[in-house]
Amino acid sequence: MSRFLVTGGAGFIGSHLVKRLLAEGHTVSVLDDFNDFYDPAIKRANLASVSEKIQIVEGNICDRDLVESLLKHGGFDTVVHLAARAGVRPSIDFPELYLQTNVIGTFRLLEAARQAGCNHFLFASSSSVYGLAEAVPFSEKLPLPQTLSPYAATKLSGEHLCGNYANLHGMRAVCLRFFTVYGPGQRPDLAIHKFTDLIENGKPVPKFGDGNTRRDYTYIDDIVSGILGAIAYRGKNFDIFNLGESETTTLNELIATLENALGKKAVIQQFPEQKGDMPRTCADITKARELLGYAPATPLSAGIPKFVEWYRGNKKGGHQE
């Protein structure tokens, strides 16, 4: 069994991963700063059921002394770096915060891992790096000449840093481009959770543009299985994989699916398109299927009812045991 450091391990994706790693018998430490991007109590609740089985270190990934000490003394086999300032729209308002956390923080972890002799590093990237790419579905081989937001730029920068450390220091670094992850425990600011809450309570749902933007929505269990496949991957020292569902859904279709699952009609509040938003995302998952054994099993039609069931059982927010 292995020793893992999961940064951002109290968050949505991180807490699901932590529980899967524990179930497989691994030793897990979590580094999380429990910031107020959304209610920190939700993050603490995410790990409540396993808090006695793991080490939880509260701190910032940009804190060089903390990160170096943790890696030096942790004896970790693998770092799974999920911590980040998330979200396209807030990154436009606070670009420096995103650059500091997502770029410098990633560098701090890579450097500390190198110093500690931990040569296995997984980095959570994002479908947002594809920007205005027109070739659909998005392949990892696509050139990426332009991102559309500071958030996307920081994720692409993180990928490049991982590539540097693989090339210069022989580190095994794998970057995973997540495509719009949802499911039980999803962050309350993300569309599916936010829209569910608004429709359930009869409040207006903000719709930006004509509703024809398309997203590749990926269920959390599929994402975690993809991460586990990447952990086991022993191919090239540096590699990049898409983790998506490989199906796209328009905003209008998403709202209709939520209406159906909730048994309620949405009250739509119309807004113009927002700067920084990608017109569509769609993952080519051929590479992940072949090399990671990645096989997403929960289409949106099945995942949304599961999410609604969780939501109605946890109306005050919270976590999935």
Q: Point out the residues that are catalytic.
A: 151
Instruction: Give dist(CA 307, CA 284) in Å, integer.
Output: 25
Q: What Å distances lie between residue 107 and 154, 162, 250, 253, CA to CA? A: 11, 8, 36, 39
What are the φ/ψ torsions at residue 62 (nearest 5 degrees)? -85, -5
Beta pairing partners, 243: 178
For 179-232, give the DSSP string: --EESTT--TTSHHHHHHHHHHTTPEEEEETTS--EE--EEHHHHHHHHHHHHH
Could you give the count of Cα atoms lying within 13 Å of 199 in the half-sphere of its Cβ?
A: 24
As given in the structure block, the two tokens for residue 177 are 């481009």
Pairing relation of β-strands 78-81 and 3-7?
parallel
Per-residue DSSP letter, 100: I
Which amino acid, one-letter code, is at 192?
A: I
The backbone region for 33, taken as left when phi is positive above 0, alpha when psi lies in -120 to 50, beta otherwise, is: alpha
CA-wise closest residue to 28 among 58, 43, 59, 50? 50
- Assess contact for 213 and 254: CB atoms under 8 A: no
